[in-house]
A and B are shown apart, each in its own frame.
Chain A
Amino acid sequence: MKNTNSIGQALPNAFQPNLWGRRFLIVITTLFALTFLVAPLVVVLTRAFEYGWSPFWKAVTEIYTVKALRLTALTTVLAVTCNTLFGLCAAWALTRFQYKGRGFLITLIDLPFAISPIIAGLIFILTYGRLGWLHPYLVDWQLRIVFNVPGVVLATIFVTLPFVAREIVPVLAARGTDEEQAAVLMGAGFFTVFFKVTFPHIRWALVYSLILCAARAMGEFGAVSVVSGHLRGKTNTLPLHIEILYNEHKFSESFAVSTILVATSVIILTARNVIEQLAKKEDESNVFRS
């Protein structure tokens, strides 16, 4: 075979389309990427800088933008931390012992993926809002959740809940438990077993899932939009702030702020690729040596 590219080599010749077929597939793919990905990105950047550098900088450093950025950062950190803890516990509970209702639990964890974010937001309003079940108790404790920062954080956690668990469950399930059994037989306690034996196997999956989780938490719009109440400088996250600017016809400002999110996306994508390469390298060296 003349192909030196490893992806091309994966297909035997008989399954390779002919020259025109190949050109057609490449053109279609490129067209889709251009219209749906590259063109909007170019628009964002050109609109953001249409009046030059200083209006851009002014929009980005404006007090409400900075406050929105801070809230987004806080929300992301809290959501990622919370979901890491939850994800690890859930992965352990779902793969390391048998019990009734395990299958149901697996389905339940996926629920936030299936539910529309708007519905997720409404659920929080109906639970913690003025007419919600828990409202009387919250008043007693002087806690305001809806239209307040805790609501924004809770909604983000809800939406990003499955990310970590979903990445780690298959890794743990595929690996079996005999290394852990061996460690237990040698007298190791739970924490030793987890950190010395289990963790090295899941670390790449964990880092990968944290990155995805962070990306989703930063960009979350729907659920947060419902619970935040759009209080400028208080409960506005970056995506909400962009929407407000846009609705006020401050187009170049809104695109300028958008570049912050675009930049973080690019960083995250790069980080994800690097992680994937590292994990693959480690995996290959393990497979080929054995």
Chain B
Amino acid sequence: MYLEVKGLEKKFGNFKACDQVDFALEKGALAALLGPSGSGKTTILRTIAGLENVDSGEIVIDDKRVNELPASQRGIGFVFQNYALFRYMNVFDNIAFGLKTQKQPKNIIQERVEELLNLVGLTGLEKRYPSQLSGGQKQRVAFARALAPWPRILLLDEPFAAIDAKVRRELRSWLRETISKLKITSIFVTHDQSEAIEVADLIVVTNHGRVEQTGSPLELYRSPATPFVASFIGESTILSDYGCLKGFNKAPKGAVCAVRPEFIRLFSPNEAIQYENCVQDGLVERVSFRGNVLEVKVRVGDFSLVTDYSLERPPISLGDKVKVLIYRLYAFEGVTQARLVSNDGLKSQNNGYNFEI
């Protein structure tokens, strides 16, 4: 493992920002620290960079403990949330800054800056000042500046937060491609699950200063270890006492679960269904158009469930009676465990709907 964080603890006064944080990254991996605001993800990033001291625990880069190494000698490229570009230097001087402090010869600096400008697609803008750049361009300059001095690790703090939605989408895929091309070990912080899923190879989910789960996006989706992960990755509805749902009657009393939109399928009442014994009646409470699908809120007993409904299927509207099939759900066991549970009726019938995600 190239970067290891072991038992990291950090307190600000009485507030525990990091609580026994452990995770490790392989060389060249692109990881996301994902969590709600205040979950300690930025603090983890700043302690790796050396901008904050740790109370206890170890940070190991390339098999060497770096706790005592000052930030300036850790070889870390950092992209700040608001970019922190040097306002009184032009783009060229911003990118060249790290190379100048390394006392690189002039021709190397010139070459490296040109190479990076080319990489981030800003060739020709080297004479501009940060205030003359758009948000996306600033971000690219910040990225180039962090990469210029050949850092060992690249850290990005909420790299897309300050950019408008359309540019953000482009930048995401650009960043992903560029980082995998450069093969530089990188960590970025985000509170946006779709961003983490789309960009990262590995996601570290944090909550209340603790790491809830570490894994690939698919692993987190398929087998969330905790209720928090189950509800944070993907959109889900949390139900308590789900034992009254058809097909899940074996659930213990008072059990809590999470149901994802893609775990539910709706049928109109007169459609012929072969697994009649595991569907239940529902009432359409809301239908909203989401561009390519309908998002439907349906009431089943005491629960309101949200699911997607294809526009290719029979039309559906508010107040319609429907049949609701729930394939599976995440059953929570206590606050620390979550487990995927399938509908009993489907298991016994083996009707071809046991699709694997």
Contact = CB atoms under 8 A, between A and B. Distances in A.
A236 B328 CA distance: 95
B163 to A, nearest CB: 14
B139 to A, nearest CB: 14
B87 A185 contact: no
A194 to B, nearest CB: 13
A188 interface: yes
A285 B72 contact: no
B149 interface: yes
B51 interface: yes
Q: How large is the interface on B (under 10, 10 to 19, 20 to 34, 35 or more residues)?
A: 20 to 34
A210 B303 CA distance: 71
A183 B97 CA distance: 8
Contacts of B88: 200-201
A200 B131 CA distance: 15
Given A187-B102, A192-B101, A182 B72 contact: no
B76 to A, nearest CB: 6
Contacts of B87: 179, 200-201, 286
Contacts of B85: 179
B86 interface: yes
A286 B87 CA distance: 9
Interface string B83-95: 0111111000000
B86 A197 contact: yes
A290 interface: yes
A173 interface: no
Nearest to B51: A181
A181 B81 CA distance: 13
A197 B94 CA distance: 10
A196 B88 CA distance: 9
A38 B124 CA distance: 56
B86 A185 contact: no
Contact of B80 (A178, A200, A289): A178
Given A187-B73, A197-B86, A286-B131, A182 B149 contact: no
Contacts of B76: 185
A184 B80 contact: no
B129 interface: yes
B84 A186 contact: no
Given A186-B98, A187-B149, A289 B84 contact: no
A197 B229 CA distance: 42
Contacts of B77: 185
Most buried by B among A183, A184, A187, A201: A187
30 contacts: A178-B82, A179-B86, A181-B78, A181-B80, A182-B80, A182-B145, A183-B86, A183-B101, A185-B50, A185-B51, A185-B72, A185-B76, A186-B97, A186-B145, A186-B149, A187-B72, A187-B101, A187-B149, A188-B72, A188-B97, A189-B101, A192-B101, A196-B86, A200-B88, A201-B88, A285-B131, A286-B129, A289-B132, A290-B130, A290-B132
Interface of A: 178-179, 181-189, 192, 196-197, 200-201, 285-287, 289-290
Given A185-B77, A286-B87, 18 more contacts: A179-B85, A181-B51, A182-B78, A182-B84, A183-B86, A183-B101, A184-B71, A185-B71, A186-B72, A186-B97, A186-B98, A186-B101, A187-B149, A189-B101, A286-B129, A286-B131, A289-B131, A289-B132
Interface of B: 49-51, 71-73, 76-78, 80, 82, 84-89, 97-98, 101-102, 129-132, 145, 149
A-B complex: 5 closest residue pairs judged by Cβ atoms: A186-B98, A200-B88, A178-B84, A289-B131, A290-B131
